[in-house]
Chain A
Amino acid sequence: AQSVTQLGSHVSVSEGALVLLRCNYSSSVPPYLFWYVQYPNQGLQLLLKYTSAATLVKGINGFEAEFKKSETSFHLTKPSAHMSDAAEYFCAVSYPAGQNFVFGPGTRLSVLP
């Protein structure tokens, strides 16, 4: 079964520091890949997506992610963290022949002043 792993249920960074949130998927078939952000008491919002175009994808709020097929990874990065980036981040995958999305367990990002 397809699965998504997000290493680190909780990541803390200082304001201005690099943000790196990890996502790995398990599949031999190239998937579509998404990162979503969830603020408290809200639904999820799309940050960025990869659907077989450029492997480096730029999203909103200064985030970007790189699809690495050899590593089955789609890590999310941001050069400089802001306090407003504190939220829960979910990686999700889907497959061209499928109908559904599989979400990772999420990573809670804390930004320290």
Chain B
Amino acid sequence: GAGVSQSPSNKVTEKGKDVELRCDPISGHTALYWYRQSLGQGLEFLIYFQGNSAPDKSGLPSDRFSAERTGGSVSTLTIQRTQQEDSAVYLCASSYPRTGSAVDSPLHFGNGTRLTVT
């Protein structure tokens, strides 16, 4: 497929468990973002990867959240010791910056992973 792929599409986990969410960006896209969308809320920025640069982790809400991007492609968002307030849709997006800056290139979003913590 040509789009951004996220897995799983739905994840139900018990409070205190760790979860891993996966994102396969569009091939060749060097910029990758993770956002969190809570019910009735806008998108909350979590983390940004651009090429081989150090990621911008400024949006991660706590040290229970981490993300990595291997080989400049697939990314995994890990949430340790999940809490009920972590329940949300986690969206991944990628882009191909034409000018070296990612911010004038539109984002291509996956369909998200709906995380429910019970």
Interface of chain B: mostly helix, strand, loop or mixed: mixed
Question: Can you identify 9 A-B contacts, CB atoms within 8 angstroms?
Answer: A32-B104, A43-B4, A43-B93, A44-B109, A46-B106, A96-B104, A101-B45, A102-B45, A104-B42
Given A32-B103, A96-B101, residue A90 in contact with residue B111 (CB < 8 A): no
| A100 B109 Cβ-Cβ under 8 A | no
Find residues 67-113 in chain A having any chain B CB closer than 8 Å to their own CB. 90, 94-96, 98-106
Asked if B56 and A99 make an inter-chain contact with CB atoms under 8 angstroms apart, the answer reads yes
Scan residues 46-61 of chain A and give those whose CB is less than 8 A from a CB of chain B.
46, 49, 51
**Set B42, B101, B103, B112: member contacting A43, Cβ < 8 A:** B112
Q: Which residues from chain B contact A94 at a C-beta distance below 8 Å?
A: 103-104
Give the distance to chain A from B35, nearest Cβ to Cβ, in Å. Answer: 8
B106 and chain A: residue at smallest CB distance: A46
Of B50, B59, B103, which is within 8 A of A95 by CB?
Answer: B103
Q: At the interface, yes or no: B115 with Cβ under 8 Å from chain A?
A: no
Q: Which residue of A lies closest to B101 (CB)?
A: A96
CA distance A36 to B59 in the complex (A): 21
B43 touches A103 (CB 8 A): yes
